[in-house]
Amino acid sequence: MEVTYKVHRKDPENGGESSYSTYQVDLPEDATVLDGLQKIRDEQDDSLAFRASCCQGYCGECAVRINYKAQFTCTTKIAAVTKKSPEILCDPVRNIPVIKDLVFDMDRFTWDKMAAMKPWMEPDDEFAPTENLVPESEMAEVRKTMSCYQCGLCDEGCAVLPVDFDFLGPGAMVKGYRFVMDPRETGAKMEARMKVVEQPKGLWDCVHCYEANGKCPRGLAPSSKIMEIRDVAFKEGITHEKVARHHASFINSVKQTGWLDERKLAMETEGLTNVTGLMKLLPTAVRALRRGKMPGRHEKRPGADQIKRILEKAEDSK
């Protein structure tokens, strides 16, 4: 099968400009995209740089954008990506500084961010220093996240990273989840762990676009994991962040009156003692008043008690 590879090139030792090289490759029908890249390097161009290690879809090393979609080259069959055109476009994964051709900076992309999560367990004193049996029901989800390849495909789909590369990203948050949900970190250790995940550029910077969920080859639903950590933060009573105050105000309002008190929501989100933040709301309030859009009196609605019960039931079932 004759295929055309169009591969991104960039060589910092040679000006560092991005360009493309085109190669004709003859491959068997069941070849993978990685097979083709290796053949190019072996037979046509030994300067081509790309990463791969396990060649079986386990290590996550070979992530590349193939025809605009980030995938593993070692598990992607050429037959699957040449259905519409015999050309295979290979680009480096987005949002990451490229070192050479398809090789990107794994330190800045993944390892520095994983390290920021302090990826080691600090069990509460009652669990140390002996072996501890942990109920399977509490470890099942945690164990799943331990199978993360740390490939960064979830970060590749993240909506925040293109505008703020310092955001820790869903991949690092999945690592954080692994420790937040571990039942052996309790009490003060749990508090310390929450401080790690909600550090600046961490937990609260996710914009819940849920894009990362569709990118993970392990089906770990990284965006949902971030939301689950936030649920823990709310349960732990963490209210110093705007997002947490917004959430708490929303829930309290609906529980008390059966519907949303928008005036209170705006003020409580800023923080009732945050004078500067409250002053910033004034122009919006004046505009709303002038246009007759200022919410009126907020009274308890009929059925509010049932709504409160539904909310409490949903909270209990988490």
Where do contacts with ligand SF4 occur on this chain (CB under 6 A)?
60, 148-154, 170-171, 174, 215-218, 220, 222
Q: Which is nearer to ligand SF4, 37 or 220 (CB)?
A: 220
Strands 63-66 and 87-91: antiparallel
Q: CB under 5 to 8 A by kind: which of ligand SF4, ligand FES, none does 59 bind?
A: ligand FES
Closer by beta carbon to ligand SF4, 215 or else 230: 215
Contact between 147 and ligand FES by CB under 6 A: the answer reads no
Rounded Cα gap, residues 244 and 197, in angstroms:
14
Q: Residue 75, exposed/middle/buried by CB under 10 A (0-12, 13-18, 19+)? A: middle
Q: Which does 150 bind (CB under 5 to 8 A by kind): ligand FES, ligand SF4, none?
A: ligand SF4
Check binding of 92 to ligand FES (CB under 6 A).
no
Task: Please check whether residue 214 is in contact with residue 176, taking contact to mean a CB–CB distance below 8 angstroms.
Answer: no
Is 59 or 106 the residue whose CB approaches ligand FES more closely? 59
Can you tell me whether residue 75 is helix, strand or coil? coil
193's tokens:
């762990």
Q: List, as own/partner pairs, every contact residues 275-280 make where C-beta atoms lie below 8 angstroms and the sequence separation is at least 24, other chains included.
A: none
Nearer to ligand SF4 (CB atom), residue 146 or residue 188: 146
Binding mask 45-84 for ligand FES (x = CB under 6 A): -------xxxx-xxxxxx---------x-x----------
Told to check if 148 binds ligand FES by CB under 6 A, we report no
Q: How far is the CB of 227 from ligand FES (least distance, A)?
A: 27
| Cβ distance to ligand SF4 smaller for residue 8 or 215 | 215
**Which of ligand SF4, ligand FES, none does 82 bind, CB closer than 5 to 8 A by kind?**
none
Minimum distance between the CB of residue 28 and ligand FES, rounded to whole angstroms? Answer: 19
Q: 224 vs 257, which CB is nearer to ligand SF4?
A: 224
Sheet with 69-72: list strands edge to edge: 19-26, 2-9, 87-91, 63-66, 69-72
State the nearest-atom distance from the C-beta of 140 to ligand SF4, in Å.
Answer: 17
The option from ligand FES, ligand SF4, none interacting with 197 (CB < 5 to 8 A, set by class) reads none
Q: Which phi and psi angles does 253 have, rounded to 5°?
A: -60, -50
| Cis amide bond preceding 129, omega within 30 | yes
104 binds ligand FES (CB under 6 A): no
**Can residue 93 be called a binding residue for ligand FES (CB under 6 A)?**
no
Our CA angle for 37, 42, 44, nearest 5°, is 85
Q: What is each CA distance from 278 to 261, 262, 275, 282, in whole angstroms?
A: 16, 14, 5, 7
- DSSP codes of every residue in 181-226: T-TTS-HHHHHHHHHHHTSTTSGGG-----GGGGT-TT---HHHHH
Q: Which does 72 bind (CB under 5 to 8 A by kind): ligand SF4, ligand FES, none?
A: ligand FES
Query: Where along the sequence are the contacts to ligand FES (CB under 6 A)?
Result: 52-55, 57-62, 72, 74
